[in-house]
Amino acid sequence: MHNRFLWVIRRFGNRAGRAVMLTAVALGCACAATASADAMAADNGSRIGELVVEPPTVTALGFEWHINGDENRNAVVAIEYKPTGDRRWRQGLPLLRVQREELNNVLGAFSYTAPDMFAGSLFDLEPDTEYDVALVMTDPDGVSGEARQTLTVRTRPVPVPAGDGNVYHVYPVGYEGEKQEPAFAGLLGAYYLRANGADWFNAFPPRVEPGDVILVHAGLYQGNRFRYADPSGLLFDGTYHLRRSGTAQRPIVIKGAGDGEVIFDGGGNHILFDVMAADYIHFEGITFRNTEVAIQAGYKGLAGAVGLTVKNCRFEDIGRGVYTDWSGSKDFYIADNVFLGRSHPDRLEGWIGRVWQGTPGYPTPVLSEMAVKVYGSGHVIAYNHVSGFHDGIDHATYGAPDGNPDIPRDRMPVSIDIYNNDITNVDDNCIEADGAMHNVRVLRNRCFNQGHRALSTQPIFGGPAYFIRNVVYHAPEGGALKLTASSAGVLVYHNTFAAEVQAMGPVSNTHYRNNLILGQGAAEEIFAGANMTRYSSSDYNGFRPNPGSATAFAWSLPASGESRDFSGELREEKYADLADFSAATGNDAHSVLVDFDTFVNVPPLTTAEPWRLYDPASVDFRLTDGSPAIDAGVVLPGVNDDFNGRAPDLGAYEAGSALPHYGPRADPP
């Protein structure tokens, strides 16, 4: 096996070459030993196919390299990159081998078979920067075609106003103070040539052009939607319908002027802003409140927006914040916002309610559904604060991608970033990566007080879905992960879960590395996986089994004994402790046992008060000196290159390194 990595050792040196080798095994790329006899006798050489660059985001790039052959799964794709003009190449995480994993008759809604390919991402890049990228495929059974391919790709810039468009000033209807010109009463008066809330409401064309900025001055913007010919221009629905598009370089900007809070109040209406017919609309410094849907940006099979930006805004007393499930939506940038839902502010309500039975007030209706839900490609959802919703931040479950199996490239839900968000007090899931295909990157999020399960794939269509350096604390009903609906291609690296990891349904091609998983007493086993593929794997983790549990681990594999069986017929085995689990399955041979004292200050959780809300400021997940989690991890290029000591630490935080920033930044770009 080592021969296939000689090119890396020669290129990068011994330590880097071994890092790629270990990571390739972690990704399930070197599993010939577990392949069936039929597969070993099949088409084992790799034949190169199309190399696809997915839509870039501001900090990440995603790739898909299609192949034929490699039935014994021992091919590897390594990736290296550098800013154009630099001399030093850097390693990225080897691409995930995706091999026709099946999602069969999922809830009767669809069936899907993943492509035959490699897929993967480069993380934490600089915005608006050109990168040289080289991908190299190696296979002991031979590679037919160009095994090394190089390309140049640019990340997207953070959206900003063009700076040279017209500037229009908006004041509340009835404002009588000093005004900057050109001045208009109400937003629609500036956006359109005239605001009219009567028969002529759609007679006047837009005034704004790409690059224009509407500066909204302080005050309350709340029309009387029950008044015919209201001077704000709003009709009975109370919705601001925007129908002029900007461009990526010249968005149409609606921005607080900076002279005080700007509040758009929906008066309890259904949709406050409808941007489904307008691309590249940019909201900044606005408060949205008292509405069911603050920004409607798309409906499945109907219409939607491209390039929506929502920065440094506040959402309160809403049912949904930003919503689209249109497959053509792409390149949203939703960052540094505060989303406040209507859930009970002093207790966790939960969803199913098994552990809440007898709690006064249960069951509770869904008053606020989710802060953000998107579908499509190229979206960035980062540095937001979310509290008081049923769900936090979601990618729409949607169903089979449009056109399955011949999915148009521009309708593929790929290349989506969800990072550095601070999410608390949600009834169901903190983050859902549901319904996406490839390169969903869920990084460095803090999830406190999740009623059901914190991080979800329902499903992932082949992957990879990356869950890296997330923190989960207090998920009393279901635990840290919701992997279900036959998800395929889930990578769980460097997370800290003060919650069990329990299978919710059979999944395939899943891999765990460098995590800390500590039981909260909500389930018997601390770690249980249901796997339709024998090449799913786990190692280099830290576990804290629940005291007094008869079994600490459970692992399910295809009952047929084959390497792959997508019928869902699995055989589950349970194990008393880590040693038994490792000896029987070959997993977690390098994993260790930990307890809550491995952290500076993390109180052990209890299920006695599942409705309790814990304050993130009162918990400190940094590792203590002498913790068994220190230097206990494996090197994952492009993920933990900056580790301190002899090896990476386990969990979300590296000892001696700065902590991530969660939620809105003081001075965002």
Q: What is the pLDDT of residues 309-332, one digit of tens each?
A: 999 999 999 999 999 999 999 999
Gap between the Cα atoms of 315 and 265, Å rounded: 10
Q: For 263-287, what is the mean pLDDT?
A: 98
What is the spatial distance between Cα 517 and Cα 634, in angstroms, rounded to a whole number? 16
User: What are the beta bridge partners of residue 370?
Assistant: 320, 391
Share of the chain above pLDDT 90, in %: 85
pLDDT of 559 higher than 60: yes
Asked whether residue 224 carries a pLDDT value surpassing 50, the answer given is: yes
**Three-state SS sequence of 588-633:** CCCCEECCHHHEEECCCCCCCCCCCCCCHHHCEEEECCCCCCCCCC
Q: Supply the DSSP symbol for 92.
A: -
Cα distance between residue 425 and residue 416, in whole Å: 24
| Per-residue pLDDT at 3 exceeds 80 | no
Residue 106 confidence class, pLDDT cut points 50, 70, 90? confident
State pLDDT tens for residues 493-517.
999 999 999 999 999 999 999 999 9
453-457 and 431-432 beta bridge pairing: parallel
Q: How confident is residue 401, by pLDDT bands cut at 50, 70 and 90?
A: very high
H-helix or E-strand spanning residue 191: helix 187-191
- Residue 465 is predicted with a pLDDT of 98
Element (H, E) at 80: strand 76-83
For residue 405, is the peptide bond before it cis, meaning its omega torsion is within 30 degrees of 0? Answer: yes
Residue 13 has pLDDT above 80, yes or no: no
63, 137 contact by CB (below 8 A)? no
Asked whether 237 and 225 are in contact (CB, 8 A), the reply is yes
3-state secondary structure of 186: coil
Q: Is the pLDDT of residue 7 over 80?
A: no
In 281-346, DSSP assigns E strands to 281-284, 287-296, 298-299, 303-304, 309-311, 314-323, 333-335, 338-340
Q: Would the CA dihedral through 545, 546, 549, 551 be positive or negative?
A: negative
Sorted by where each starts, the structural domains of the chain and their CATH numbers stand as 2-154 (2.60.40.10), 160-306 (no CATH)
Structure tokens at 462: 């082949």
Q: How confident is the model at residue 478 (pLDDT cuts 50, 70, 90)?
A: confident
Summarize the confidence of residues 259-288 as an average pLDDT. 98
pLDDT at 36 over 80: no
Degrees, nearest 5: CA angle 526-528-529: 150
Identify the pLDDT of residue 18. 44
β-strand 431-432 against 391-395: which pairing, if any? Answer: parallel
Q: Is the pLDDT of residue 35 over 80?
A: no
Q: Write down the pLDDT at residue 31.
A: 42
Residue 537: CB partners within 8 Å, gap ≥ 6? 25, 26, 28, 511, 512, 587
Does the structure show a pLDDT above 50 at 34? no
Q: What average pLDDT does the chain have?
A: 92
Residue 356 has pLDDT above 90, yes or no: no
What is the model's pLDDT at position 21? 46
